[in-house]
Amino acid sequence: MGCCFGKQASFRKKHSGKDDVDIEPGLFVSANKLKFIDVYEIGRSLGQGGYGEVREATHRDSGQLRAVKIFTKENTNSMPEAELLNEVNVMKSIDHPNIVRIFEYFDSIKKAYIVMELCKGGELFDEIIKRRQFSEDDAASVAKQLFSAVDYLHEHNVIHRDLKPQNILLENKGELNSIKVSDFGIAKVSKRFKRLNEVIGTAYFMAPEVISGKYNFKCDLWSCGVIIYMMLSGHPPFQARNQEELFVKISKRDWSFREPVWAEVSRHAKDLISALLSPMETRLNAKEALAHPWIQRVCPEIQNTQSLEPALDNLKGFQSKGKLRDALSTFITLHCISNDDTRGLKEVFRSIDKNGDGKLSKAELMEQYIKFMGQEEAKEEVKKIMKEVDTDKSGFIDYTEFLKASMDQRRLMSVGNLKAAFAMFDKDKNGTITKKEIKDAIGEDGRVLDKIWRDIISELDTNGDGEIDFEEFENVIMGKMPRNHI
C-alpha cells in the first residue's frame, strides 16, 4: 500500500487577497515526516475498531496529551485509505468548540496515524447506558451543542452522515457541557441542497431518504432527532430483529411517544423530536433547531462574569503584530495550550455566542461591550477588535481567534510555550530551525507564498546565517509584545 495522505477536496475559507495569507487553523495541520514514536509516547488504549485502535499519546516536546487513531494497513478489515484521507482533509479546516480538533498526521509503510484532541470523558453512548434517561436540561444542553456543531458543518458544506452517540465525545468524564463531534471518515463535502445517493451510515441513525438513496444535508438532523430521543428514553425510536425490518420501520417513520417514559417529557421536547423525525422537506435545519423553544427555554445564558470581564479586556487590548506574530500565536494556541487551560474561555465564548453558530459576530460582541461603556465607544471598540482579531478576514471572530486574543498574552507567549513551539519546529533537534522546518509546520500545502516565507525568515534570522536559534526566536517574538505584557 502506498501513501495514505494526498490531495483531496476539502472546504476552504476565502482568502483576502492574492499577495497575502489569512492565518487560520488549517495552516497548522500537516503531515509529519518523522517517525511517530519519535514525536509521541504511546499510552493506554482508548478504544478498538476494525481499522485499528485509538490510544492516548503524549507529545514529547510539549507534554500535551493527545488521542491518536492508529490505522493498521495490513488489517484486511481496516478503514479504507480513502476514508482516512477524507477524515484528515475535512477535519483540518474545522474550527469549532464542539468538534474534535486534528493536530497532525503520520504515514509509514505499515501504519498511518491521525493525532487528535483528547476527550477524557468517553462517548455519549456510554453516558446514555449509565444514566438510562437524561433530564431535559442535560439532554437540551447536549442537543444545543450538537446543533451548533452541525450548523457550522453545514454552513461549510460538510455533511457528517454518521452522527450517533458513539461519535459524540465528552471532554471530561460525566460533564455534558462540553461535547465534541468526531469521526469524519464518511463525511461529505457537498453543497447543502445537492442530492446524494450513497447509502451510508449506521443503520439505527439513518434517515429514510438515505435508505432510498435520495438525500441532502438534512439527513444529519434526522440523526440528531434519534440521539435526542435516545437521551430522553434510553433507547432508539426504531427497534427491530434485523436490518431489513429496521429499514422498513425507518422508511415508514414508524415511531411513537406511547411508552410510559414519555408521559413526563415536556411538550416542547416532543415537538422538537417530531420536527426532526419528519419528512426531509419539512424537517428543521440546524439553525431552526437552535431557535426552537425547547433549546431556548432549557438552556439559559451562561453567567461567568469572573472569566467574562478579563476575556473582554484582553480582546479589547489585543494587537495583531503582523503575520509572524499571528502565525506563532495561533500555532501556540493550537499546539501548546491544553483544554484545561482554555476551559473558562470556552464558557465565555459560548455565553457570547447567542445564536450558537460557533463564531462571534459584531452584534454579539456589541451586546457584551455595551454593558461596560456607551454605545458609540462600544461600536468603536468592536470595530477595532474585528480588525485586530479577525485574522482570516471572515467577518467573524472564529473560535481559535477568540482563544488566542482573549487569553492573557503573558501566559500565551510564555518562555515555556515559546520553547515548546521552537522544539516542534526544530524537527532534526539540532538547536536551530530553518525555512524548510517552519514551512513543514505551517502552510505546507502551498497556500503561503514564498514572499511571505522570505519576510518571516528574514525577520527571525537577525544574524543572517540562514538559520534561527532560540535566542533569535525569543528576542524577535518578545520584542513584538507590548511592554506591559513582558
Alpha carbon separation from 416 to 20, 150, 326, 336 (Å, rounded) = 30, 36, 18, 9
* CB neighbour list of residue 365: distance below 8 Å, 6 or more residues apart: 315, 352, 382, 385, 386, 397
Half-sphere exposure of 27 (CA within 13 A, CB side): 25
The reply to whether 249 sits in an annotated binding site is no
Q: Amino acid identity of 393?
A: K
Q: Amino acid identity of 288?
A: E
Tell me which H or E stretch contains 410.
helix 409-412
Residue pair 334/28 in contact (Cβ under 8 Å)? The answer is yes
Q: Active-site residue among 162, 353, 398, 440?
A: 162
Tell me how far apart the alpha carbons of residues 426 and 342 are, in angstroms, rounded to a whole number.
26
162 catalytic? Reply is yes
Tell me how far apart the alpha carbons of residues 353 and 358 are, in angstroms, rounded to a whole number.
7
3-state secondary structure 314-345: HHHHCCCCHHHHHHHHHHHHHHCCCCCCCHHH
Distance, first Cα to last Cα, the chain = 51
Alpha carbon separation from 363 to 336, 354, 400 (Å, rounded) = 31, 10, 19
Q: For residue 129, count CB atoms less than 10 angstroms from its CB and return exposed for 0-12, middle for 13-18, buried for 19 or more.
A: exposed
Q: What is the DSSP string of 205-216?
A: G--HHHHHT-B-
Residue pair 355/367 in contact (Cβ under 8 Å)? The answer is no
Tell me how far apart the alpha carbons of residues 196 and 206 are, in angstroms, rounded to a whole number.
14
Tell me how far apart the alpha carbons of residues 277 and 231 are, in angstroms, rounded to a whole number.
15
Q: Which three cell numbers stand for residue 41?
A: 509516547
Report the binding-site residues for ATP. 69
Report the binding-site residues. 69
Just list the catalytic residues. 162
